[in-house]
């Protein structure tokens, strides 16, 4: 890590570790909106790590922001922190100044007719709490007012809100952008890949601790060869998810997402495909090492594994990104694909 990455990692990890434990996550899942934690996120500028300086951000790179996004997965942060970070980066590409409050990212479920923007059960993370929505359509960034729409409350498997929003939305701003209609989908997929990596690492830590502390037949579980094999397999899966996500962030910093043929889309597709595919094995091994206690609500492994299963399909699952990865490989051609794979 460079100096900025280390600073961000330490400050964000300290905040989330102090504020989030299994008891608080249980409360937030059932009844409470973590207003105090959201206030601290805003106060520390975490939501604007990718924002321009004119918008109050530090204009960090994706590689610099990686530890922040990963920490959101590791601590299963029950807030739209990642969505806010992503919205600020998208706005920066168009020079847009976003309103205050929580953004809603629209990747589908809407139509535009005669300058009217209509939402039709658009799935929006924390949609009922959003202050505004953003969408990319026909090379323009739309900033939309989040008022007077109907919100159908829905949750994903991790019990994070994924509300369905319907109704007309007033256009607050419309600016040209180099991003295309698929950009939000790709960027959202990258963010979820990073979050899966963070949650996977936390699951590995829990498994190592449990195997070291739990004794069976007079010795710790970690002394049994079968458990050692499971832990080694789990560590390898976590490392592979992290490695491809880190590579995707680095490529996005160097080449953008739409500027040229050799942009970051191949790496992002590979990252989401690897992360989504690995979830099944990571969660299975994590629960297998823990045994029965891993399936209890009182033990917090489920906070990680339920969210990994939810993030696995958000912004496209294994089948979608596998197909996209194949298309992108064909587009690169035989002379280009090998350097990409071995870079």
Whether the predicted pLDDT of 335 surpasses 90: no
The pLDDT tens digits for 248-291 are: 999 999 999 986 667 899 999 999 999 999 999 999 999 999 99
- Enumerate the domain spans of the chain: 3-176, 183-342
What is the predicted pLDDT for the residue at 116?
A: 82
Q: Where are the alpha helices (DSSP H) in the chain?
A: 3-19, 22-30, 35-43, 62-74, 81-94, 183-213, 225-255, 265-290, 301-313, 318-332, 334-342
The pLDDT tens digits for 62-96 are: 999 999 999 999 999 999 999 999 999 999 998 88
The pLDDT tens digits for 192-202 are: 999 999 999 99
For the domain 183-342, what is the CATH superfamily, name and number? Butyryl-CoA Dehydrogenase, subunit A, domain 3 (1.20.140.10)
Predicted confidence band of residue 213 (pLDDT cuts 50, 70, 90):
confident
Whether the predicted pLDDT of 224 surpasses 70: yes
Torsion of CA 163, 89, 112, 321, to 10 degrees: -70
Instruction: Answer with the residue of higher pLDDT: 245 or 332.
Output: 245
What is the predicted pLDDT for the residue at 114?
A: 74
The percentage of residues in the chain with a pLDDT greater than 90, rounded to a whole number, is 77
Asked whether 90 and 182 are in contact (CB, 8 A), the reply is: no
| DSSP result, 247-286 | HHHHHHHHH-SSSSTTSTHHHHHHHHHHHHHHHHHHHHHH
Calculate the average pLDDT of the chain.
Answer: 92
> Do the strands 150-152 and 110-113 form a parallel or antiparallel pair, or are they unpaired?
unpaired
What is the predicted pLDDT for the residue at 260?
A: 66
Instruction: Answer with the residue of higher pLDDT: 213 or 60.
Output: 60
CATH class of 3-176: mainly alpha
Provide mean pLDDT across the span 7-19. 96
The strand pairing partners of 133, in sequence order, are: 104, 144
Instruction: Answer with the residue of higher pLDDT: 18 or 55.
Output: 18
What is the predicted pLDDT for the residue at 50?
A: 95
> Do the strands 132-137 and 103-105 form a parallel or antiparallel pair, or are they unpaired?
parallel
What is the value of pTM for the model shown? 0.95
What is the predicted pLDDT for the residue at 262?
A: 73
The pLDDT tens digits for 107-120 are: 989 998 877 899 99
Residue 234, CA atoms < 13 Å, CB-side half-sphere: 26
Domains 3-176 and 183-342 share a fold: no
What is the predicted pLDDT for the residue at 330?
A: 87
Instruction: Answer with the residue of higher pLDDT: 339 or 278.
Output: 278
What is the predicted pLDDT for the residue at 38?
A: 96
The strand pairing partners of 142, in sequence order, are: 135, 174
d(CA 104, CA 84): 8
Whether the predicted pLDDT of 242 surpasses 70: yes
Phi, psi of 163 (to 5 degrees): -75, 150
Predicted confidence band of residue 54 (pLDDT cuts 50, 70, 90):
confident
What is the predicted pLDDT for the residue at 261?
A: 64
d(CA 48, CA 50): 5
Helix (H/G/I), strand (E/B), else coil: 47: helix
What is the predicted pLDDT for the residue at 343?
A: 66
d(CA 59, CA 74): 23
- Report which DSSP code applies to 127: G
Whether the predicted pLDDT of 341 surpasses 80: no
Asked whether 148 and 166 are in contact (CB, 8 A), the reply is: no
């Amino acid at each position: 890590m460079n100096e900025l990455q280390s600073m961000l990692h330490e400050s964000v990890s300290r905040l989330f570790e102090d504020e989030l434990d299994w008891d608080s996550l249980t409360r937030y899942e059932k009844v409470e909106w973590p207003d105090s934690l959201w206030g601290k996120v805003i106060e520390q500028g975490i939501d604007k790590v990718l924002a321009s300086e004119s918008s109050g951000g530090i204009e960090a790179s994706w590689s610099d922001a990686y530890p922040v996004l990963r920490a959101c997965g590791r601590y299963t942060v029950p807030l739209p922190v990642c969505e806010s970070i992503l919205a600020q980066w998208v706005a920066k590409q168009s020079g847009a100044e976003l309103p205050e409050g929580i953004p809603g990212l629209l990747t589908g479920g809407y139509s535009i007719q005669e300058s009217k923007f209509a939402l039709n059960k658009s799935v929006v993370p924390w949609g009922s709490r959003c202050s505004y929505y953003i969408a990319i359509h026909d090379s323009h960034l739309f900033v939309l007012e989040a008022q007077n729409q109907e919100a159908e409350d829905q949750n994903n498997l991790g019990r994070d809100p994924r509300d369905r929003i319907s109704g007309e939305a007033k256009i607050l701003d419309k600016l040209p952008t180099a991003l295309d209609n698929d950009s939000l989908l790709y960027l959202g997929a990258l963010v979820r890949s990073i979050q899966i990596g963070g949650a996977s690492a936390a699951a590995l830590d829990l498994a190592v601790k449990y195997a070291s502390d739990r004794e069976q037949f007079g010795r710790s579980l970690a002394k049994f060869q079968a458990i050692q094999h499971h832990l080694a397999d789990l560590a390898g899966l976590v490392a592979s998810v992290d490695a491809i996500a880190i590579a995707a962030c680095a490529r996005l910093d160097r080449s953008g997402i739409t500027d040229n043929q050799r942009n970051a889309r191949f790496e992002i597709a590979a990252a989401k495909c690897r992360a989504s595919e690995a979830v099944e094995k990571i969660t299975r091994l994590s629960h297998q090492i823990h045994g029965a206690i891993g399936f209890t609500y009182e033990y917090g492994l489920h906070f990680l594994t339920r969210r990994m299963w939810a993030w696995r399909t958000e912004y496209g699952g294994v089948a979608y990104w596998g197909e996209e990865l194949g298309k992108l490989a064909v587009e690169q051609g035989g002379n280009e694909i090998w350097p990409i794979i071995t870079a």
